[in-house]
Structure 1
Amino acid sequence: MSERNLLLYSSTDGHTVKIMHYIEETLAEPCEIMNVHERGAMDFSGYKRVIIGASIRYGHLSKAFYQFVAQNQTALAQANAAFFCVNLTARKANRNTPETSPYVRTFLKRSPWQPAYMGVFAGALDYPSYRWFDRMMIQLIMKITGGETDTSKSLVYTDWQKVAEFARSCPLNIQK
């Protein structure tokens, strides 16, 4: 078995990629970081651990992420792959665990893969980088949910200690 870890991501604005780089630093082991949107069927047997992170946009994980999961469901299960979801709702204490995240519940209902190890992390809000339509829509969503509405602000809600704890606790690949 390789000593390399595989970190797969589905990211809208790049914050999930930043979390993956933080996981790589935390593990202090060789990692390959790949975009699931650029991958098809994969063989995970050569990796020490497999971690997949996906972001929410407008209440949904991407279709490409669901396609990747469907195409790799057996291999993901055999590899004991870990999963985490990144979303702004997780900035609230009552929405930041797999058990309390509506997005994880929806994922588990829709997904043929049922990961045994999961995490939920708050993402980033970067109004200045969004296109006009996205900025207005996200501002409306934040107003409805009691969040930041000042479109001149960039905020990171991620609890980096929680990310580090998740990374250190991710299970090893159980394939032989």
Structure 2
Amino acid sequence: MERVLLLHSSREGQTIKILNYIATKLGSDVQCELVDLHQPLSVSFSDYDRVVIGASIRYGHLNKKLYQFITKYQTELEQAKAGFFIVNLTARKEGKDTPETSVYFKKFLLKSPWVPALQDTFAGALFYPRYNWFDRVMIQFIMKMTGGETDPTKEVEYTNWQRVDQFVEKIKRG
């Protein structure tokens, strides 16, 4: 049975939701393990046939622990031909929803010593009722500036699941 390691750097849970969706779409003949890369890694890359990392943007940045993880495991990631995707709200807009057009993906490639073999970017979700006061106000401000949803009572999912399906197909092709 094929084994896939799904690593996440998630803040609000949409990245984990996307990785769980990927696991489901890979099928029952693929065994997936979901691991938080912010925690000490207790698995060996050699135990897996594939590796996929999902990471979320918050206030314009990926978590610094992601970069620390990549630096520590760069060789293993390169040998695994690992896939990587970024989740952010800017990707809700057409023309900002690919690795080539995403400012966050471009910034990642400049900062990271690792260039993923498989790359993508997906729109995330807004969870206003779940945010603390500061985060809610800051995200409303950002969304107002970018023409997005500002109603603090709403939860809006922007993820394009067809795009995620296309990413899954690329994973399957190896």
* TM band (smaller chain): over 0.9
Q: State the Cα deviation string for residues 38-96 of structure 1 (Å, max 9, x = none).
A: 13486312212110000000000001111111111111011100000000000001100
Write out aligned runs for 1:102-121 (5 A): 102-121=103-122
> Which residue does 1:49 correspond to in 2?
50
Aligned length: 172
User: Could you tell me how far 1:12 is from its partner in structure 2?
Assistant: 0.5
Letter in 2 for 1:129: R
Alpha carbons 2:51, 2:81 under 8 Å: kept: yes
> Which residue does 1:91 correspond to in 2?
92
Where do 4+ consecutive residues of structure 1 move more than 3 Å?
40-43
| 1:74 and 2:96 matched | no
Deviates more, 1:54-63 or 1:40-49: 40-49
TM-score, normalised to structure 1, is 0.93
Q: State the Cα deviation string for residues 116-144 of structure 1 (Å, max 9, x = none).
A: 21010000001000000000000000011
Distance 2:123 2:129 in 1: 19
Distance 1:70 1:172 in 2: 27
User: Could you tell me how far 1:164 is from its partner in structure 2?
Assistant: 1.5
Alpha carbons 1:39, 1:68 under 8 Å: kept: no
Deviates more, 1:92-101 or 1:161-170: 161-170
Distance 2:173 2:40 in 1: 22
- What is the percentage of aligned positions where both structures have the same residue? 55
TM-score, normalised to structure 2, is 0.94
> Which residue does 1:8 correspond to in 2?
7
Aligned to 1:170, the other structure's residue is in SS state helix
**Which has the higher relative contact order, 1 or 2, with Cα contacts under 8 A spaced 6 or more apart?**
1
CA RMSD of aligned residues (A): 1.5
> Which residue does 1:100 correspond to in 2?
101
Distance 1:41 1:89 in 2: 33
User: Could you tell me how far 1:172 is from its partner in structure 2?
Assistant: 6.9
5+ long unaligned stretches in structure 2: none
Alpha carbons 2:26, 2:172 under 8 Å: kept: no
Letter in 2 for 1:104: F
